[in-house]
Amino acid sequence: MDSNVREAEAWLRSRSHGGLEQLRADVSRGLPGDVSLTAKIRGRGLLVNARAALPEFPDGAWLTQFMLFADGEPNDDRVLFQRTLVTHGLREKRLGRKIIRNRRDIALNFGIDLIEGQATGAGAYFCARWGLVPKNNVWKRFRELVRTRLEAGFPGLSIPLAERHAVYSALNAPEPFAIQEVARARSLVKVDEETTIPLGRWLLAEPSHSWEGQLNLAEPMQRLILDDYVGESSIEEENS
């Protein structure tokens, strides 16, 4: 057993956790593939990487990376979301929802309420859909980028008037939580001859978009949005 494994195992067990095998089971619950997991101490936290391979996707079916901070400090303990990727051929199976569900459950098992992350490119939509909210100083800048994209549009873009007004209303709101209204915009946008996506995705998942955000599991509305995204609440929404 190398030093990284020993240190990670000790870190987990000192926090009343079952260790690396238990963590691997927690990360991969309900997900396909042969899962490999590595963990190493990084500063005060634990850096976790998990990757799964399938015969048809030998280079990786999905992967996820995050940091755990769990020292018993209410204002400092958090799960720092770093990266999640699902290979294109498996996205229709909603693996991203299961990965986020498992991340939520890991946080709860450690008594952690706060999830933080950097949302970039496609992740700027994905993270908003599962409930990450831009930090106050970030939302003012990011909403202007989204507004510019909406106003510029492209030839042939058609948005129902009521939904356009709803999106503008959200972008005018000072509260970062308004990003949820943008993410939920459901009008379909035809971006090319073969691809049609929801308006919210088109607005948010722009390659140059990036924002920092957080989600507090102790806040009922934020928790409800997350639970809805992973399919464990009474809210019903179509698409993803």
- How do residues 186-235 score in pLDDT, each as one tens digit? 999 988 888 899 999 999 998 888 999 999 999 999 999 999 999 875 43
Per domain, the residue ranges of the chain are 1-112
154-175, pLDDT tens digit by residue? 888 889 999 999 999 999 999 9
Tally Cβ neighbours within 10 Å of residue 73.
10
Q: How far apart are CA 69 and CA 112, in angstroms?
A: 9
Q: Quick check: 149 pLDDT over 90?
A: yes
12-50, pLDDT tens digit by residue? 999 999 999 999 999 999 999 999 999 999 999 999 999
Sign, Cα dihedral of 79, 85, 90, 94: positive
Q: Residue 203 — φ and ψ, nearest 5°?
A: -70, -40
Average pLDDT over residues 104-114: 95
Give the per-residue pLDDT at 233.
56
Taking CB atoms within 8 Å and a gap of at least 24, the contacts of 150-155 are 150/203
Give the per-residue pLDDT at 235.
39
pTM value is: 0.88
Q: How far apart are CA 68 and CA 215, in angstroms?
A: 15
Q: Quick check: 126 pLDDT over 90?
A: yes
Give the per-residue pLDDT at 66.
97
SS3 percent helix, strand, coil of the chain, rounded to 5, is: 40, 25, 30
51-108, pLDDT tens digit by residue? 999 998 887 899 999 999 999 877 789 999 999 999 987 877 889 999 999 999 999 9
Give the per-residue pLDDT at 42.
96
Q: How far apart are CA 22 and CA 135, in angstroms?
A: 33
Give the per-residue pLDDT at 76.
87
pLDDT band at residue 144, thresholds of 50, 70 and 90? very high
